[in-house]
């Protein structure tokens, strides 16, 4: 299941990137390209919390959401579409897949590594699509094949239960809400640190670092524990600030992306009955970085490193203290 959903994430993000990049070579007016990207991002990222909430309230609709997402993505590739219908189709398909796929991963697995691995492939697919390395029909065929295989697995294994095997109740609501806000704030900060590496000679370098960071963060947390992992992230960020050249942004990108599975898994454990909503809220917190990254509101890396560490440290402390079974959950 995890392999199939990770492959689908690669294909879905790649398809959207390839379809959007085609406008750069198709004579579309520059202002319309800007509107296309803006509307797509608002729907794809900003709509995930609503799609996730609907799927949390109607979990039997989860299997149907995957082929529906592929149909929407396929509609976005139809010739002759204006920029607005295409942005709606691609954004809705991307939104629906992420809400459904993220919910399934959070439901089925109790590890930090699983959500990190699932999300990691998206950056690589997006880079291949945006740089027109792989054409949209190839990504669409991969989406259709992966969805069919996922539905077969779901039919055999059944829908994972809501909340996962470690759902121990609701806990103290106010401290857990504060924990959730700290985690979402950390995700927002991380959204301002995901850029870098646009040169064609290394078009996959930074996306691969993003992917490695997301997968590595979850694996480290499962094996050495939450506290040691956030300390390792902080030390890696500190090391990055001591070096110059390309190595500095590479290490910073690796460190900040290592926090992704920690924030997502802990957010889900704060509200175990709403995995789709938690995944969608985390995705929505990336929007400020998408629209404001690189402007005057960008966050200096040394400030971001300290703020991310303190946010994760405080969130982990609140969860350990106030969540039912919190200490037993966090390795």
Q: How many helices (H) and strands (E) does the chain have?
A: 16, 0
- Give the C-alpha separation, 269 to 274, whole Å: 9
pLDDT tens digits, 8-53: 999 999 999 999 988 766 667 778 888 899 999 999 999 999 999 9
Q: What share of the chain is helix, strand, coil (3-state, %, to 5)?
A: 75, 0, 25
101 has pLDDT over 70: yes
Cα 104 to Cα 273: distance, rounded to the nearest angstrom: 12
Q: Can you give the pLDDT at residue 330?
A: 75
Q: What pLDDT score was predicted for residue 165?
A: 43
pLDDT attached to residue 260: 95
Cα dihedral 78→83→88→89 (10° resolution): 10
Q: What distance in Å separates the CA atoms of residue 92 and residue 207, rounded to the nearest whole number? A: 23
What mean pLDDT is reported for the chain?
A: 89
For the segment 200-256, what is each residue's pLDDT rounded down to a tens digit?
A: 457 889 999 999 999 999 999 999 999 999 999 999 999 999 998 899 999 999 999
For residue 139, give both structure tokens: 């990504």
Among residues 95, 105, 93, the alpha carbon closest in space to that of 150 is found at 105
Model pLDDT for residues 247-302, shown as the tens digit of each residue: 999 999 999 999 999 999 999 999 999 999 999 999 999 998 887 765 555 678 88
Question: CA-to-CA distance for 112 and 186, rounded, in angstroms?
Answer: 16
Domains defined along the chain, listed by start: 2-157 (1.20.1250.20), 173-329 (no CATH)
DSSP 158: -
Question: Residue 322 pLDDT more than 70?
Answer: yes
Q: State the CB neighbour count (10 A cutoff) for residue 14.
A: 28
Phi then psi for residue 326, to 5 deg, are -60, -45
Radius of gyration (C-alpha) of the chain in whole angstroms: 19
Residue with more model confidence, 326 or 85: 85
């Amino acid at each position: 299941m995890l392999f199939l959903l990770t492959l689908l994430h690669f294909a879905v993000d790649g398809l959207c990137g390839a379809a959007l990049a085609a406008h750069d070579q198709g004579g579309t007016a520059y202002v319309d390209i800007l509107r296309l990207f803006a509307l797509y991002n608002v729907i794809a990222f900003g709509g995930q919390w609503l799609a996730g909430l609907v799927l949390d309230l109607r979990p039997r609709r989860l299997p149907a959401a995957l082929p529906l997402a592929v149909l929407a993505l396929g509609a976005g590739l139809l010739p002759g579409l204006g920029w607005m219908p295409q942005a709606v189709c691609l954004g809705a398909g991307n939104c629906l897949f992420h809400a459904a796929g993220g919910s399934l991963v959070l439901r089925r697995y109790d590890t930090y590594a699983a959500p990190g691995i699932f999300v990691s492939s998206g950056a690589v697919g997006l880079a291949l699509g945006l740089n027109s390395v792989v054409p949209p029909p190839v990504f669409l065929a991969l989406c259709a094949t992966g969805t069919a295989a996922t539905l077969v697995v779901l039919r055999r294994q059944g829908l994972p239960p809501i909340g996962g095997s470690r759902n121990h109740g609701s806990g103290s609501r106010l401290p857990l809400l504060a924990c959730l806000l700290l985690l979402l704030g950390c995700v927002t900060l991380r959204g301002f640190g995901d850029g870098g590496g646009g040169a064609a000679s290394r078009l996959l370098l930074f996306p691969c670092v993003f992917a490695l960071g997301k997968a590595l963060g979850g694996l480290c947390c499962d094996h050495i524990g939450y506290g040691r992992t956030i300390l390792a992230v902080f030390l890696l960020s500190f090391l990055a600030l001591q070096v110059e050249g390309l190595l500095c942004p590479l290490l910073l990108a690796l460190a900040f992306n290592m926090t992704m599975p920690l924030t997502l898994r802990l957010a889900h454990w704060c509200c175990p009955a709403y995995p789709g909503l938690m995944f969608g809220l985390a995705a929505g917190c990336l929007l400020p970085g998408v629209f404001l990254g690189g402007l005057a509101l960008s966050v200096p890396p040394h400030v971001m490193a300290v703020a991310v560490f303190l946010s994760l440290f405080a969130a982990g402390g609140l969860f350990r203290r106030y969540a039912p079974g919190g200490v037993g959950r966090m390795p």
